[in-house]
Structure 1
Amino acid sequence: MCGRYSFSTSKAKLEAELGTTLEIEDDELQYNYNIAPTQRAYIVSNQAPGALQLFQWGLIPSWSKDPKMGGKMINARAETVLEKPAFRNAIRQRRCLVLADSFYEWKKEGKDKTPFRILPAQGELLVMGGIWETWRGEGKVIHSFSIITTGPNAEMMPIHDRMPLVLPDRESRQLWLEERNPALIEEMLHVPADGLLKMYQVSDTVNSVRNNGEELHEGL
């Protein structure tokens, strides 16, 4: 799964990799070194492909009676996303790019869990495939998203048996936002190619969402 990630990226880098001009300044970007479920984070949706939007992490289906349901739906498995009632409409109609610089994963060794920071091998923007929804109720409107996960590629396999769906280039990102054919969407739901990522061990201070600063990116 993907249960924690980070965003600390400049406007120039976002614009260069997304191929668009963003109406936001560097000092307006909200950096978060320890993004956790139910927090708001940056996405680019198929509804507004030229804009950064802050949506809540943890998809709340439009038909749900309980907005707290989103905390349990931070990931959508690629193998079942086209069939699951909570996800099947969103994957066909409401896809998004989830923007990050890295994600964290914990390697289990007996009773111990060792945290690793995982990021694109060449320092690129980390763009993950996601789906989004709009929930209305209790006098409020909540825009939320889930991150699509797949089985592991070669570099992730020693760490964990799941990983985010990584969209490594403009072509794959554009297809993710624009494609409408369910069969072609399904073709995109594959394990990311080997060699896309690098990783290193970080301090277990990342375990607590109360910790949030540049030091979380420091290797051991």
Structure 2
Amino acid sequence: MLFCRYRGLCAGRYIGIAARPPVRPAILRNIMSAIPPLKSMCGRYSLTCIDDLGRRFRVFVPEIGLRSRFNVPPGSEMPVILPEGGEGRLSLMRWGLIPAWAKDPAIGRRLINARAETLTEKPSFRSLVRRKRCLVPATGFYEWNISGRGRIPYYIRMKDDCLCAFAGLYDEWQSPAGVLLKTYAIITTEPNDLIRPIHSRMPAILRREDEGRWLQPGPLTAEEIRTMLAPRPAEDLEAYPVSLEVNNPEHDGEHLTRRAAMQVVPRHP
């Protein structure tokens, strides 16, 4: 019975609510294909240390085939932590927010990120920041620096913690065919001194002491939002160049997160 409290889309089926009809794979593929991955300001991250998820976030992790992912692109089905009974609940969601009011699921292509500075102004996020906040577990993220050498990928991670939590927003959208899609966006903030030479934005990485408050239902004050979503100090993170293989979202593997020598991107006429 406990298992059916954890709902999500996994392996082409809907998990958790017996009253809903099963999702036909063909319908699911059609809905998903309407929201292809795209490049954006913070558009790739990693999630490893899967065995530590339950302990780190104090949630039950059901047997839903979670595995380490070293190169997560938009459009991926990934675990997020939702509020439930003052604690948290793990759910699989698709990265690329589709608001409940959306008429076209393709909007998820544009809503993989939400800027911390304008959360209370944008119609897509204004109501969600009051009542649908989530944690996005991660072990690091990628940003690309454009320079004379070309577009060079960097991997950024916490120095002293395998798992961290990006601040996120989520929603549920139902298609005319009755297919329920649960989706999320990662909140971004201004870069710290470490990230600024690499990129103009970074994910909002919550401090551990703020994770519970972020999950609590109900509105936050403007000061709480500003404080929680401020960039983490540069000394908490490390950044280094990695292989150009990470440019291809189909590539995955631990080698993608290893430090690489600075490379020159070939230029084609």
Q: TM-score, normalised by structure 1?
A: 0.91
Instruction: Determine which of 77, 84, 107 is the counterpart of 2:145.
Output: 107
Structure 1: 5+ residue stretches without partners: none
| Larger radius of gyration between Structure 1 and Structure 2 | 2
3-state SS of 1:155 partner: coil
Aligned to 1:59: 97
Q: Give 1:185 deviation, angstroms.
A: 4.0
Displacement, 1:190?
2.0
The higher-RCO structure (CA 8 Å, 6+ apart) is: 1
Cα distance in 1 for residues equivalent to 2:59 and 2:183: 24
Q: Which of 142, 161, 180 does residue 200 from structure 2 map onto?
A: 161
Residues 217/194 of structure 1: CA separation in 2 closer, same or farther (3 Å cut): closer
Query: How many residue pairs are counted as aligned between the two chains?
Result: 216
Following the alignment from structure 1 to structure 2, what is the Cα–Cα distance between the partners of residues 156 and 55?
28
The CA deviation string for residues 56-92 of structure 1, in whole angstroms up to 9 with x for no partner, is 1010111111111101110000011111000111111
1:91 aligned onto 2:129? yes
Alignment partner, residue 15 of structure 1: 54
Q: CA RMSD in A?
A: 1.8
Give the letter for the 2:258 counterpart: E
Q: How does 1:63-142 map to 2 (within 5 A)?
A: 63-110=101-148, 112-139=150-177, 140-142=179-181
Is the 2:205–2:229 Cα contact (8 Å) retained in structure 1?
no
Identity within the alignment, %: 37
Kindly state the Cα deviation for residue 9 of structure 1 after the two structures are TM-superposed.
1.3
Please tell me whether the aligned partners of residues 206 and 229 of structure 2 are also in contact (alpha carbons under 8 angstroms).
no
| TM-score, normalised relative to structure 2 | 0.75
Alignment counterpart, residue 181 of structure 1, candidates 200, 212, 220: 220
Gaps of at least 5 residues in structure 2 are 1-40, 261-269
SS at match of 1:50: strand
1:160 is matched by which residue type in structure 2?
H
- Whether 1:204 aligns to 2:241 is no
Separation in structure 2 between the aligned mates of residue 152 and residue 181 of structure 1, nearest angstrom: 23
- 2:82 equivalent in structure 1: 45
